[in-house]
Amino acid sequence: MVSLSIMKVIISFIMVMSGLWSFVNYYKHLLNALLSLEFMTLGVFWLMSMQLSAMSGEMYFMLFFLTLAACEGALGLTLLVVAVRSHGNDRFMSFNLLEC
């Protein structure tokens, strides 16, 4: 029987891999890419919180990681709003890098 700690590591690894899989396969819209990145960040956060709580270590690094993940999400949503306002949609094929 698999122990509970190994099961938590496997579940968080599956979360990261499924987020990576959806990032690679559903990259046509910016919102899908952002949701995939957030899901991968959530998997890493969950793995880190399980490992740090098992070691009974400091939780400050985990809170720092959570703060960076929230800032990354806010920056991604800001870029999404700017892209929709300037181009009218969030499809990657409609973005032109030569356009100012």
Q: Which residues pair with 29 in a beta bridge?
A: 91
Residue 96 has pLDDT above 80, yes or no: no
Residue 100 has pLDDT above 60, yes or no: no
For the domain covering 4-94, report its CATH number: 1.10.287.3510
Q: Please compute the mean of the pLDDT values over residues 72-89 and round it to a whole number.
A: 86
Structure confidence by residue, pLDDT tens digits, 8-47: 888 889 999 999 999 898 878 888 888 999 999 999 998 8
* Residue 56 DSSP label: T
Q: Which amino acid is at 59?
A: M
